[in-house]
């Protein structure tokens, strides 16, 4: 492996949802209170390259699913001086509606995804409403179009996309979920995406209930810990604590953007 490039790493929040805690764990405790969920995309930026990791959902999709956009992903990226239309590499951790929408924003980009995710979203599993519900058919159709316009890049298992940035197959939550590992000034950080929605899912080994294979999801937790330099280098996919633990790049982005390439502060 070549010597890694150091990336700046950001979480960009674009929406939020109130949820009761029992909806966030397979093995429920019905006495738990509220446990809201944040929606993010992520950016890994080096002097040479910028990777956008996931693309969020659009206002239209949000309205259909009763989710409110706080700041649309294009504006969230613009706050970091990133023009979505110029992005060349998008990594899709998995194709759930909240991770793989807004295709009109990224006209120039290649989209990196796992073979198994494409297999999953175009095959028999989607005939089951409980599995297909979290996908938007238009996102899937757009990905098929990218395949034929040579803008889909398929990965199988673990692959380095650039020195200091790699994707890692996990499955579990979906058949083809992948995590992203990024070299930063504080070491290897793992963007778990939906391998761990909340810190609590992974720290307590209590999986999130939207799941294709519970056993693989639990193995994915182990894998995430193994790939990150420490548990403090692991970033869950939907936890509002991310914006509490990591600082904003500047004050007017407080509550919207967090820097993940600096150490988290204790609660
Ligand atoms: Zn998901």
Residue range 116-125, pLDDT digits in tens? 999 999 999 9
- For residues 262 and 73, give the distance between their C-alpha atoms in angstroms, rounded to a whole number: 23
Q: How many CB atoms sit inside 10 A of residue 210's CB?
A: 18
Q: In the prediction, which pLDDT does 34 show?
A: 79
Average pLDDT over residues 144-163: 98
Average pLDDT over residues 239-257: 94
**Cα–Cα distances in Å, from 39 out to 78, 164, 261?**
17, 25, 19
Which structure tokens are listed for 29? 């405790």
Which residues make Cβ contacts (< 8 Å) with residue 156, sequence separation at least 6?
A: 114, 115, 116, 169
Q: Do residues 78 and 52 lie in contact, with contact meaning Cβ atoms separated by under 8 Å?
A: no
Q: How many CB atoms sit inside 10 A of residue 151's CB?
A: 17
Which structure tokens are listed for 163? 């020195």
Average pLDDT over residues 99-119: 97
Burial class for 27, CB neighbours closer than 10 Å (0-12, 13-18, 19+): exposed
Q: In the prediction, which pLDDT does 46 show?
A: 97
Q: How far is the CA of 130 from the centre of ligand 1 (A)?
A: 13
Q: How far is the CA of 96 from the centre of ligand 1 (A)?
A: 5
Q: How far is the CA of 94 from the centre of ligand 1 (A)?
A: 7
Instruction: Say if residue 134's pLDDT is above 60.
Output: yes
Q: How far is the CA of 39 from the centre of ligand 1 (A)?
A: 10
How far is C-alpha 134 from the geometric centre of its chain's CA atoms? 14
Q: How far is the CA of 97 from the centre of ligand 1 (A)?
A: 8
Q: How far is the CA of 1 from the centre of ligand 1 (A)?
A: 30
Q: How far is the CA of 263 from the centre of ligand 1 (A)?
A: 26
- The phi, psi pair for 67, rounded to 5°, reads -120, 135
Instruction: Say if residue 154's pLDDT is above 90.
Output: yes
Alpha helices in the chain, H assignment, sequence order: 59-64, 73-78, 115-121, 129-132, 137-148, 199-203, 214-227, 241-245
Q: How far is the CA of 99 from the centre of ligand 1 (A)?
A: 7
pLDDT greater at residue 3 or residue 183: 183
Average pLDDT over residues 219-231: 97
Which structure tokens are listed for 194? 């939906």
Instruction: Say if residue 32's pLDDT is above 90.
Output: no
pLDDT band at residue 24, thresholds of 50, 70 and 90?
Answer: confident
Q: How far is the CA of 172 from the centre of ligand 1 (A)?
A: 10
pLDDT band at residue 8, thresholds of 50, 70 and 90?
Answer: very high
Q: What would the pLDDT profile of 195-211 be if each residue is shown by its tens digit?
A: 999 999 999 998 988 89
pTM of the full structure: 0.94
Per-chain mean pLDDT for the chain: 94
- For residues 11 and 28, give the distance between their C-alpha atoms in angstroms, rounded to a whole number: 28
Instruction: Say if residue 1's pLDDT is above 70.
Output: no
pLDDT greater at residue 25 or residue 30: 25
Instruction: Say if residue 18's pLDDT is above 90.
Output: no
Strands of the 234-236 sheet, one edge to the other:
158-162, 165-169, 178-184, 187-193, 234-236
Q: In a 3-state reduction of DSSP, which class is residue 253?
A: helix
Instruction: Say if residue 31's pLDDT is above 80.
Output: no
Alpha helices in 65-136, H assignment, sequence order: 73-78, 115-121, 129-132
Query: Whose structure tokens read 């969920």?
Result: 37
Least-confidence region, from 17-26, 40-49, 151-160, 192-201? 17-26
Q: In the prediction, which pLDDT does 30 show?
A: 57
Q: How far is the CA of 3 from the centre of ligand 1 (A)?
A: 32
pLDDT band at residue 27, thresholds of 50, 70 and 90?
Answer: low
């Amino acid at each position: 492996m070549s010597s890694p490039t150091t990336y700046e790493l950001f979480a960009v929040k674009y929406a939020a949802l109130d949820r009761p805690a029992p909806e966030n764990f397979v093995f429920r405790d019905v006495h738990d209170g509220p446990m809201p969920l944040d929606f993010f995309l992520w950016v890994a930026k080096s002097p040479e390259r910028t990777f956008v990791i996931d693309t969020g959902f659009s206002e239209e999709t949000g309205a259909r699913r009763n989710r409110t956009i706080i700041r649309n992903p294009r504006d969230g990226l613009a706050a970091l001086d990133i023009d979505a239309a110029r992005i060349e590499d998008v990594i899709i951790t998995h194709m759930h509606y909240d991770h793989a929408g807004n295709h009109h924003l990224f006209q120039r980009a290649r989209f990196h995804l796992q073979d198994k995710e494409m297999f999953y979203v175009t095959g028999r599993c989607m005939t089951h409403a409980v599995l297909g519900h979290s996908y938007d058919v238009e996102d899937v159709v757009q990905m098929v179009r990218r395949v034929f316009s040579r803008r889909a890049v398929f990965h199988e298992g673990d692959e380095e996309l650039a020195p200091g940035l790699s994707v890692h197959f996990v499955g579990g939550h979906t058949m083809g979920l992948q995590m992203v590992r990024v070299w930063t000034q504080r070491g290897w950080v793992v963007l778990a995406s939906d391998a761990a929605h909340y810190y609590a899912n992974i720290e307590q080994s209590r999986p999130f209930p939207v799941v294709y294979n519970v056993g693989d999801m639990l193995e994915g937790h182990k894998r995430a810990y193994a790939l990150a330099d420490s548990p403090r280098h692991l970033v869950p996919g939907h936890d509002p604590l991310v914006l509490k633990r990591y600082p904003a790049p500047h004050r007017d982005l407080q509550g919207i953007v967090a820097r993940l390439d600096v150490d988290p502060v204790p609660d």
